[in-house]
């Protein structure tokens, strides 16, 4: 499925992964109340696994809805529509996973 989305958006694997990370970072930023809180959310693997599952469901929705005009619409139209669909993930959250993520120690810089 991810390869199919990459092709529809005309993204390289690196650009595609960067897009996903940017969307996750944006979601964590919206769910957090300060930088340290955002760091805790970003670094929590269980939270990311839940989030990517939700994101993938929305990508499936994107693929289903674009079957009729894939190859006919411009790349930019496909990218814009993809963004419109997948950013619906911003309305989702898992209270238990976020609570557990916030229990983590924040990432701090070590000075030598």
* Predicted pLDDT of residue 104: 81
Each domain of the chain, given as residue ranges in start order, spans 2-102
Q: Which pLDDT score is estimated for 108? A: 64
Tally the C-alpha atoms within 13 A of residue 21's C-alpha that lie toward its C-beta.
Answer: 7
Radius of gyration of the chain (CA): 16
Structure confidence at residue 107 (pLDDT): 64
Count other C-beta atoms under 10 Å from residue 26's C-beta.
13
Q: For residue 20, what pLDDT is reported?
A: 96
pLDDT tens per residue, range 65-81: 998 887 888 999 999 99
Mean pLDDT in residue range 85-93: 92
Residues 80-104, mean pLDDT to the nearest whole number: 92
- Four-residue CA torsion sign, 22, 80, 53, 88: positive
Do residues 13 and 6 touch, judged by C-beta distance below 8 A? Answer: yes
7-52 pLDDT, tens digit each: 999 999 999 999 999 999 999 999 999 999 999 999 999 999 999 9
What are the tokens at 105?
A: 């120690």
């Amino acid at each position: 499925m991810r390869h199919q989305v990459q092709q529809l958006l005309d993204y390289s694997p690196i650009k595609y992964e960067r897009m996903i990370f940017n969307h996750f970072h944006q979601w964590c930023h919206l769910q957090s109340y300060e930088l340290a809180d955002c760091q805790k959310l970003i670094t929590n693997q269980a939270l990311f696994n839940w989030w990517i599952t939700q994101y993938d469901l929305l990508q499936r929705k994107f693929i289903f809805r674009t079957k009729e005009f894939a190859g006919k619409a411009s790349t930019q139209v496909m990218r814009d529509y993809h963004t419109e669909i997948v950013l619906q993930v911003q309305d989702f959250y898992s209270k238990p996973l976020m609570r557990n993520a916030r229990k983590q120690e924040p990432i701090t810089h070590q000075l030598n």
